[in-house]
Amino acid sequence: MIEDVPGLERCTYLPEHGNDGYRVGHYDLELDYRVGPNRLSASARLSAVATAPLVRFDLDLGPFRVARVLIDGRAGRFRQRRDKLHVTPPRALGAGQRFTVEVRYTGNPRPVTSPWGGLGWEQLTDGSLVAGQPTGAPSWFPCNDRADHKASFRISLTTASAYHVVANGRETGRRRSGATTTWVYEQDEPMAPYLASVQIGRYQTTEIPGRVPQRLVHPGPAAGRVRYDFGRQGEMIAAFEERFGPYPFGAYTVVVADDELEIPVEAQGMSVFGTNHVDGRRGAERLVAHELAHQWFGNSLTLARWRDIWLHEGFATYAEWLWAEASGGESADEHALRWHGRLAGQPQDLVLADPGVERIFDDRVYKRGALTLHALRRTMGEGRFFPMLREWTAAHRHGTVTTEDFTRLAERHAAQTPEPLFAAWLYGRRLPRLP
Ligand SMILES: [Zn+2]
């Protein structure tokens, strides 16, 4: 899918990530991976269109050894510097011209460094995972690493047959050849590069059929705890569909990696948890709800600029409260009062709609974001708030969104203008009173 968002300024939070001058419509990744030595040997074929005349263009790619770069099948010149691959095609590309670029590369994938710690491809004790948000995609494939440039993907990964491999989308092939197996996944719905993921481990799977099929992928010994802890996910999907509209992808996969993880992380159609999030007593069900909600808010509706991160994290946090409310736990009102009290005791120096790049994952963004939605719900009333949310997910399904898109929509649905509410909650620093 190729589309441009007219009049949208470039993300200023991560100016070194992503490139101008072209859009990728499809990524075809052929990966050959050896778990023990953490060795990746790969070929990535990107189908793109030039959006301006191009004498050269750049891709985001970590420190791999690049053997060659082909543009429409012909060798191009290239140079690597920091996490960029500069490519000069044999012939300049005209605006609107479609082209393919194929990159052959090898190396030991490792997380990229960031203000939020290592991101992307990570070696586990016996396997690997990818947690790409927000800048980890170049740790394993060449891309135009912009959240607002979504594309379809085909991911093929070959590794020793002892391992189970998961990637985004539907499994379209599994071929065993000698001691290795090739797994093929296709993601048809457009996906931001940072949401692309592969998970490799000695895993078992539990399939749960339903209108939205669920797949649980986990270490064998954790099967009982995993099945219990994610046992209410079907009800959760139903509760969220009622409030947010239809689940946006064909299926939902939960991977419990065979290691402890600091936090769970979302990928498209998938969430990744650590063994420490599974206690067999649903002790982390709040996080189960949070990651599931990202399928609507973050993965289907993806921010166009990272400063709009509250459109992901505020909504996913609010979904935790909605699930608690729907499942007979604490009401959203009770959550809101408690968190409002806690935020009141913290520094009030953060603007929710523009928190600053180093603070996009600050917990205040999550909680104030959820409080903003609750304030809006209290002001608009149930009868207007939830239909508005459902229109939000329908109108921007598989697209990119900004805070202004959301406030304009709320403006249309509210009986009284919510403008003062947004001015205080989104653009002011001081914590407003709850309506
Ligand atoms: Zn989140």
Q: What's residue 6's pLDDT?
A: 43
Cα(122) to centroid of ligand 1, in Å?
19
Q: Per residue in 307-319, is it b (16+ CB within 10 Å) or e — as a string?
A: bbbbbbbbbbbbb
User: Residue 130 and residue 29: Cα distance in Å, rounded?
Assistant: 15
Residue 378, pLDDT > 60, answer: yes
Tokens of 245: 């509209």
Cα(291) to centroid of ligand 1, in Å?
6
The stretch 203-232 carries a mean pLDDT of 97
Q: Which residue has the tokens 């991160």?
A: 309
Cα(393) to centroid of ligand 1, in Å?
17
CATH number 1.10.540.10 is the correct assignment for the domain at 204-295: no
Q: Which residue has the tokens 């990202």?
A: 294
Q: Which amino acid is at 196?
A: A
Residues comprising the chain, all counted:
435
pLDDT tens string 311-326:
999 999 999 999 999 9
pLDDT tens string 35-73:
999 999 999 999 999 999 999 999 999 999 999 999 999
pLDDT tens string 138-158:
999 999 999 999 999 999 999
Cα(272) to centroid of ligand 1, in Å?
12
Q: Which residue has the tokens 């379809």?
A: 152
What CATH number matches the domain at 303-427, 1.10.390.10, 1.20.1600.10, 3.10.310.70, 3.40.50.720? 1.10.390.10
Question: What percent of the chain is modeled with pLDDT above 90?
Answer: 96
Are the folds of 22-200 and 204-295 the same?
no
Q: Per residue in 151-174, is it b (16+ CB within 10 Å) or e — as a string?
A: bbbbbbbbbeeebbbbbbbeeeee
User: Residue 330 and residue 171: Cα distance in Å, rounded?
Assistant: 39
User: Residue 291 and residue 267: Cα distance in Å, rounded?
Assistant: 9
Cα(101) to centroid of ligand 1, in Å?
33
Question: What percent of the chain is modeled with pLDDT above 70?
Answer: 97
Cα(293) to centroid of ligand 1, in Å?
8
Cβ contact 248:296 at 8 Å? yes
At residue 306 the predicted structure's pLDDT band, cuts being 50, 70 and 90, is very high
Cα(364) to centroid of ligand 1, in Å?
12
3-state secondary structure the chain: CCCCCCCCCCCCCCCCCCCCCEEEEEEEEEEEEECCCCEEEEEEEEEEEECCCECCEEEECCCCEEEEEEECCEECEEEEECCEEEEECCCCECCCCEEEEEEEEEECCCCECCCCCCEEEEEECCEEEEECCCCCHHHCCCECCCCCCCEEEEEEEEEECCCEEEECCEEEEEEEECCEEEEEEEEEEEECHHHCCEEEECEEEEEECCCCCEEEEEEHHHHHHHHHHCCCHHHHHHHHHHHHCCCCCCCEEEEECCCCCCCCEEECCEEEECHHHCCCCCCCHHHHHHHHHCCCECCCEEECCHHHCHHHHHHHHHHHHHHHHHCCCCCHHHHHHHHHHHHHCCCCCCCCCCCCHHHCCCHHHHHHHHHHHHHHHHHHCHHHHHHHHHHHHHHCCCEEECHHHHHHHHHHHCCCCCHHHHHHHCCCCCCCCCC
User: Residue 116 and residue 135: Cα distance in Å, rounded?
Assistant: 10
Phi and psi at residue 175, to the nearest 5°? -120, 125
Cα(349) to centroid of ligand 1, in Å?
21
Q: What's residue 3's pLDDT?
A: 39
- What count of other Cβ atoms lies within 10 Å of the Cβ of residue 182? 18
Cα(315) to centroid of ligand 1, in Å?
9
The stretch 284-300 carries a mean pLDDT of 98
What residue ranges do the domains of the chain occupy? 22-200, 204-295, 303-427
Architecture of domain 22-200: Sandwich (2.60)
Q: What's residue 9's pLDDT?
A: 53
Cα(371) to centroid of ligand 1, in Å?
15
pLDDT tens string 8-44:
455 689 888 899 999 999 999 999 999 999 999 999 9
Cα(362) to centroid of ligand 1, in Å?
11
Q: How buried is residue 37: exposed, middle or buried, by Cβ count under 10 Å (0-12/13-18/19+)?
A: exposed
Please give the mean pLDDT across all residues of the chain.
Answer: 96
How does strand 198-201 pair with strand 84-88? unpaired
Cβ contact 23:50 at 8 Å? no
Tokens of 51: 């959006």
Cβ contact 104:45 at 8 Å? no
Cα(321) to centroid of ligand 1, in Å?
13
How does strand 84-88 pair with strand 22-34? unpaired
Cα(294) to centroid of ligand 1, in Å?
7
Cα(79) to centroid of ligand 1, in Å?
36
Cα(208) to centroid of ligand 1, in Å?
24
Q: What's residue 16's pLDDT?
A: 87
